[in-house]
Chain A
């Protein structure tokens, strides 16, 4: 059974770059798509973007220009970088496995989530 685990700093200063890594176990990262999803405290879910092993990314347009995702097949990890963060980027960040098909997709496995707070 696939397991995902997020890691990275829990506190980031405004205007700096948020960096998170997701380590995948129990499945090869060269299959499926791999996503980041975030949830501000007390609010709903927001998709950040996905990356397949080929590296062809797709990002939420609302974050376009600030977000970069990368994948390291040798470590079975994928990563998120979000630049120029503000307090509005404070959220629990989840990594998830995305199953993508014709006119739909779903997320069948999620990490436990990591809270990232943007504050000076």
Chain B
């Protein structure tokens, strides 16, 4: 079955750039999406179709996808960006989520 692998945790200093990776076999041939989830809240879509930002998502969130890795990049990270982030793609006919990455803004 298809799997997506994320690092369990990433740390970043305020104002710096955070990069969260998501790895899967030939992931670049699929579309990747990213969700932000803060404690006690529902996930929020921040990137879809590799690099598209939904309305209302700050420009500091960007995405890319090539080869076996999709990357979520947060430029000028703010304290409010501290959250869990999940990547997601479509397997053969099944929706797959990565295990999630806890982003800590130190």
Contacts and interface: CB of A to CB of B under 8 A. Distances in A.
Range of interface residues on B (Cβ < 8 Å): 20 to 34
Interface residues of A, number: 24
Interface string B23-67: 000000111110100000011110011000010000000000000
Contacts of B90: 103-105
Contacts of B33: 104-107
Contact of A45 (B43, B49, B54, B93): B43
Interface of A: 35, 44-47, 50, 58, 60-61, 94, 98-99, 101-108, 110-113
Given A45-B100, A106-B48, 12 more contacts: A44-B97, A47-B95, A58-B93, A58-B94, A94-B42, A98-B95, A103-B29, A104-B33, A106-B88, A107-B88, A108-B48, A113-B42
